[in-house]
Amino acid sequence: MDPLIVIGGGIAGVTCAKSFSIDQPNHPVILVSASSVVKTIANLKTLGRSIDMFDVIEQNANTLKSSNLQVIMNKKVIRLDSNEHRIQLDDGQWLKYGKLCICTGAKPRMINVDNQNAQQFIRYIRDTQTAKDFTKLLAGSRRIIVAGNGGIAIEIVYAVENVDIIWAIREKRIGTVFFDAGAAKFFTEFLSNHGCKKTTGKPIKRTRYGQIEINDSSNKNEFGVALGPDWSQQLNLKGVKSRKKVRIETKVEVVNVYNKIESIPDNISSKKDLNKSESWNIYVELTNGKIFGCDMIIVAIGVIPNSDVFVDDNNHTGLQLDADKGILVDREMRTNLNDIYAAGDVCSVNWPQSPHWIQMRLWTQARQMGFYAAKCIQWHLNQTNSDNPSLYFNFEVFAHVTQFFGFRVILLGLYDGQKMDTNDYKILCRVIPREAYTKVILKDGRMKGCILIGDSNLEETFEFLIYNQIDLTRFGDHLLDDHLDIEDFFD
């Protein structure tokens, strides 16, 4: 029989391949990875119905091999022939598939830079190797610029030490992807006092994300599998200054990057404000007209689904894409082409979304999609011991567990009022300065979402309330009061 081929060594791809091979030990599976390093999960712990906590570890791809799971490492797929049910690798080899699952993830969104000499001081942190390259350049840095407002940018600003940071964000406040204004204010305190870190002394009750050392020089120009949220903890992120200082430039984007003062056009008025006695590797121009000299710029302005190889001019495959280049999938992870599926960051869901769920390109959803895709493929193959995939559909309430500024952060449901008119819901907040921030979104007396920062231990209760849409009107504005143990009401 023709194998299931899974393309991609990230969490979605590995989860899909492993889950399918374990459930169907007599069916051949091939995992194609562009690297010899793959991402996998361990110590999975499920809290409630949708809240998953697990370890993300990097492994040599060979460790995944089993009697029915073959791993092809350091190979890229360059062509898809959907009519003949085959893919071509970059060494010319063709592989025949029965079912195909595309899990190629996403790649960093890049900035346009005219000056090629400045490129060596621009960093995009996506995988372990690019993180290490960033660390090496940081070791000699006095000032860096961080462009972006997502998870990677936030972690860099928090984790690096002994360097001046210019944080350039497009929005008017930090962390808009994950935070509301109140949470942003809560975290901004940890950027003051020269960027001091959280010092509550309480242990962070989270999983840890490990990595292995692999000298893989075969893919220097390729981004590997995405980082887990604890990527910075095993790196020495220090510059050369005696302390750290953070300056935030809001409502800006990068216009251009120059490698020396002389290359900056004279008609840019802020050029005259630069101190010519200071020597910097590059000069970064922002849309507010300011120019900053720095030793490097870290660009973390989001990701783009890594779907190009399947839809470029050489591959008239007919895969339907969303506007963001994500491969469209139906409720059972199928694309519009027969026997081809997609999961993780590379896909965009094309089913009616549940009221309290949104798609975000996060490692938690990558795991869920990879696992669910494996169940769907089994069902469509009419395999024995396969269950109706609807039993594993876990996209009803959005849930994400991560860490920012040393705090555990849990996002549930419509945590920032997504999908709702701003005049259509009510917000309740509780803040313990430097320790915890809790926010709930209520509509018609029912919880629609929440943000939990710190160790509140409310996640299971609040998830239950969102799933079941229990009327909370009787609690009024006292739902988050200290004297009210809300979890006791819904054990």
Q: What is the pLDDT of residue 188?
A: 84
Cα dist from 228 to 114, 151, 403, 438, whole Å: 32, 10, 11, 24
Judge whether 300 and 156 are in contact, CB under 8 Å.
Answer: yes
Q: What is the pLDDT of residue 203?
A: 35
Q: What is the pLDDT of residue 230?
A: 55
Closest C-alpha among 330, 325, 328, 329 to residue 303: 325
The residues near 259 (Cβ < 8 Å, ≥ 6 apart) are 115, 117, 118, 121, 281, 282, 283
Cα dist from 230 to 268, 404, 437, whole Å: 40, 10, 21
Residue 238 is which amino acid? K
Dig out the tokens for 153 from the structure.
Answer: 């940018």
C-alpha span between 390 and 373 (Å, rounded): 11
Closest C-alpha among 342, 375, 378, 376 to residue 359: 342
Chain length of the chain: 491
Judge whether 72 and 31 are in contact, CB under 8 Å.
Answer: yes
C-alpha span between 273 and 288 (Å, rounded): 14
Residues of the chain with pLDDT under 50: 193-195, 199-221, 223, 232, 314
- Torsions phi, psi of 457, nearest 5? 60, 30
Cα dist from 479 to 124, 262, 427, whole Å: 43, 60, 11
Domains of the chain with CATH codes? 4-107+303-396 (3.50.50.60), 110-299 (3.50.50.60), 414-489 (3.30.390)
- Put simply, whether the predicted model's pTM sits higher than 0.75 gets the answer yes
C-alpha span between 236 and 239 (Å, rounded): 9
Q: What is the pLDDT of residue 228?
A: 52
Q: What is the pLDDT of residue 57?
A: 83
Dig out the tokens for 160 from the structure.
Answer: 């690096």
The sign of the CA dihedral 225, 227, 228, 234 is: positive
Count of other CB atoms within 10 angstroms of residue 160: 24
C-alpha span between 22 and 371 (Å, rounded): 12
C-alpha span between 17 and 29 (Å, rounded): 7
C-alpha span between 150 and 129 (Å, rounded): 20
Sheet holding 29-32, edge to edge: 69-72, 29-32, 4-7, 99-102, 340-342
Secondary structure of the chain in the HEC alphabet? CCCEEEECCCHHHHHHHHHHHHHCCCCCEEEECCCCEEEEEEEEEEECCCEEEEEEEEEEHHHHCCCCEEEECCCCEEEEECCCCEEEECCCCEEECCEEEECCCEEECCCCCCCHHHHHHEECCCCHHHHHHHHHHHCCCCEEEEECCCHHHHHHHHHCECCEEEEECCCCCCCCCCCCHHHHHHHHHHHHHHHCCCCCCCCCCCCCCCCCCCCCCCCCCCCCCCCCCCHHHHCCCECCCCCCEEEEECCCCEEEEECCHHHCCCCCHHHHHCCCCCCCCEEEEECCCCEEEECEEEECCCEEECCHHHHCCCCCCCCCECCCCCEEECCCCECCCCCEEECHHHEEECCCCCCECCCCCCHHHHHHHHHHHHHHHHHHCCCCCCCCHHHHCCCCECEEEEEECCEEEEEEECCCCCCCCCCCCEEEEEEECCCEEEEEEEECCEEEEEEEECCCCCHHHHHHHHHHCCCCHHHHHHCCCCCCCHHHHCC
Judge whether 183 and 175 are in contact, CB under 8 Å.
Answer: yes
- Torsions phi, psi of 309, nearest 5? -65, -25
Sheet holding 164-168, edge to edge: 122-123, 296-299, 143-147, 164-168, 245-249
Kindly give the interhelix angle for 11-23 and 363-380, rounded to the nearest 10 degrees. 30
- Return mean pLDDT, the chain: 87
C-alpha span between 78 and 145 (Å, rounded): 35
